[in-house]
Chains A and B, each alone.
Chain A
Amino acid sequence: MKPYRTMARNSMQSTFAFRTAFLMAAVAACFQLVATVALWSALLSNGGSIGGFTLPEMKAYLLMGYVTGWLGNAIGEWVLANRIRDGQVALDLVKPIETQKMMFAQTLGGLPMELIMIVTVGAGFVLVAGPMPGPSNIPLLMLSLVFVMPIRFCIAFLTTQLVFWTQNFHGVSWARNAVGAVLSGSLVPLSLMPTWLQTTAAVLPFASLTSTPALIYLGKVSTPTAYLLIGVQAFWVVALWFLARVAFRAASRQVTVHGG
């Protein structure tokens, strides 16, 4: 357990060492939020609703999109991607610890910085962009938020393994982020999308990242459905964790130790 704790602490310290980068990211996020609110305000200027979302509800939805977007995101998947690319992963493989758990510990270490980003920018957003409804069921919301980070980690860990085959992680990461933005509901609520996209989103893990917590926050789902959705989140954590593990065993046979 101790090596993992050390890893988590080191990665936490690295996020604080690169605080300027996070400050810039916060600035960019503020612009993004202001712009998206402006867009939705223009769309809902007549006081109506789109797909059952009024303007205040949409603002709360965007807030949840921002919050869930940070969870598990401060320590980039780049750490592993670069280690695979330059062959250093060979050293990780000979260490008496599991690479997957090591990466998870590092991702956990990003949590304090993520919470700072969430609280500072999020609070500013609530004050400036308000009025918006508060969370309808705080315990359930918290429960569903707990699952966001592990799911995002597993998806990232799975896609990062592609670097064993390709030298270029930019493309993989961009494409996955774009697909994720649509299917997680962070771009627009899933209920607004055409049926075929909703069906696709229903069988993939992305919706557990944003749509589930946001719908629970807004009380758009009944309590039994909320429990069901949280169950789905839990299912994805377990399933993706083991899938990533099996995949890593196969992928690490591809390692090119001389770097690529």
Chain B
Amino acid sequence: MVAETLFAVRRNARLYRRSLGAVVRAVLEYVADFWILIAAGIVTQSLGLVFLSVVMSRVPHLNGWSYPEMVLIYGLAGVSSGIVPVLSDGIWQLASFIHNGQLDYALTRPAPPLMQVMSAWVGFNGVGDLVASAAMLTWALTRVDVHWTPLNVLILLILMISGIALRLAMCVVANTVSFWLRMPMPMFAMTAWQVGELARYPLGIYGFGLRFLLGAAAPFAFAGFFPAAWLLDRGGYAWLGILTPVVAVLWWIFAVWLFRRGLRRYDSAGH
């Protein structure tokens, strides 16, 4: 049983890699496009940095957070959202697959349909997002007041990986809603993504409604703010950061369950 599961996991991981590899080769046919997308990712990510540096050159603290700490939150959230286009940009095409009845193709092949959809495209803008966010994160990590030990480096890495997994799961959920919404464009997921961008600032600045939304209902805060709060040991929020892996696992269970429910609704007729 264990051996079989392990075999299936390895097989799917290999398929995922090969599927993404095929897309990468296709995209690299157009070298200019590749560079344009990476540049676009870098420029877009730098927007927040421009905002923070302009504003925080005049106000030293925002809600008790210093400039390097704000950049840390911004960079952490940027890294977890930047991986989504690289690993699962295909999920954004789910709405159009359903609309055109194109999901049939994935259903006839011997690999999990969700995996096939996720790996159907690679968004190279994500590479640009990652480059810019990683630069911000590195800059911030060398400036914030943290007593580094091997243990908290390890935990930070686990929290970051969990944050990435959480963002992936949330992106799957937001796009899976397309099974019910019947629109050729993933409008719901686009809105959700924009809401997620709000979690790149300290949660404390928001009122109850947004705090509830970003911390609990659609917990984007676990993909950046809470882990940062844990690292900086900010009372009130720090202990929540350590829960990130749990939240990520729960959201993946929800995502897979919802996708299966959605598939049952899929009638391949298009609309």
Q: Which residues of A contact B (CB under 8 A)?
A: 20-21, 24-25, 27-28, 31-32, 34-35, 38-39, 41-43, 50-51, 165-168, 170-172, 174-175, 177-179, 181-182, 187-188, 192-194
Residue B148, interface by CB 8 Å: no
Does B40 lie within 8 Å of A31, measured CB to CB? Answer: no
Does B183 lie within 8 Å of A178, measured CB to CB? Answer: no
A21: B residues at CB distance < 8 A: 183, 185, 187
- Kindly provide the distance from the CB of A76 to the nearest chain B CB, expressed in whole angstroms: 11
A192: B residues at CB distance < 8 A: 54-55, 58
Q: Count residues on chain B whose CB falls below 8 Å from chain A CBs.
A: 37
- Kindly provide the distance from the CB of A250 to the nearest chain B CB, expressed in whole angstroms: 18
Does A31 lie within 8 Å of B39, measured CB to CB? Answer: no
In chain A, what residue has the closest Cβ to B27?
Answer: A168
Known: A175-B43, A178-B40. A24 touches B59 (CB 8 A): no
A194: B residues at CB distance < 8 A: 54
Does A28 lie within 8 Å of B190, measured CB to CB? Answer: yes
B32: A residues at CB distance < 8 A: 165-166
Known: A24-B188, A34-B210, A178-B46. A168 touches B36 (CB 8 A): yes
Compute how far the CA of A21 lies from the CA of B40 in the bound complex, rounded to whole angstroms: 24
CB-contact partner of B210 in A27, A35, A171, under 8 A: A35
CB-contact partner of A50 in B30, B55, B191, under 8 A: B55
Residue B50, interface by CB 8 Å: yes
- Kindly provide the distance from the CB of A124 to the nearest chain B CB, expressed in whole angstroms: 14
Q: Which residues of B contact A (CB under 8 A)?
A: 30, 32-33, 36-37, 39-41, 43-44, 46-47, 50-51, 54-55, 58-59, 62-63, 125, 183, 185, 187-188, 190-191, 194-195, 198, 201, 204-207, 209-210
Counted as pairs of residues, one from A and one from B, with CB atoms less than 8 Å apart, the total is: 104
CB-contact partner of B37 in A34, A171, A178, under 8 A: A171
Compute how far the CA of A175 lies from the CA of B35 in the bound complex, rounded to whole angstroms: 12
Compute how far the CA of A192 lies from the CA of B44 in the bound complex, rounded to whole angstroms: 20
- Kindly provide the distance from the CB of A26 to the nearest chain B CB, expressed in whole angstroms: 10
Does A20 lie within 8 Å of B183, measured CB to CB? Answer: yes
Compute how far the CA of A28 lies from the CA of B194 in the bound complex, rounded to whole angstroms: 7
Does A31 lie within 8 Å of B54, measured CB to CB? Answer: no
- Kindly provide the distance from the CB of B41 to the nearest chain A CB, expressed in whole angstroms: 8
B201: A residues at CB distance < 8 A: 35, 39
Known: A41-B205, A187-B50. A24 touches B58 (CB 8 A): no
Q: Which of A24, A166, A187 has the most CB of B within 10 A?
A: A24
Q: Which of B30, B201, B205 has the most CB of A within 10 A?
A: B205
Does B51 lie within 8 Å of A27, measured CB to CB? Answer: no
Known: A175-B39, A182-B50. A42 touches B30 (CB 8 A): no
- Kindly provide the distance from the CB of B121 to the nearest chain A CB, expressed in whole angstroms: 11
Compute how far the CA of A167 lies from the CA of B32 in the bound complex, rounded to whole angstroms: 9
A41: B residues at CB distance < 8 A: 205
10 of the cross-chain contacts (CB-CB < 8 Å) are: A34-B206, A41-B205, A51-B58, A166-B32, A167-B30, A168-B30, A174-B41, A175-B40, A178-B43, A188-B55
A51: B residues at CB distance < 8 A: 58
B205: A residues at CB distance < 8 A: 38-39, 41-42
Does A175 lie within 8 Å of B47, measured CB to CB? Answer: no
Does B125 lie within 8 Å of A38, measured CB to CB? Answer: no
7 closest A-B pairs by beta carbon, nearest first, are: A171-B36, A168-B33, A42-B205, A171-B37, A175-B40, A174-B40, A171-B40
Does B194 lie within 8 Å of A42, measured CB to CB? Answer: no
B190: A residues at CB distance < 8 A: 24, 28
Does B43 lie within 8 Å of A43, measured CB to CB? Answer: no
A171: B residues at CB distance < 8 A: 33, 36-37, 39-40, 125
B39: A residues at CB distance < 8 A: 171, 175
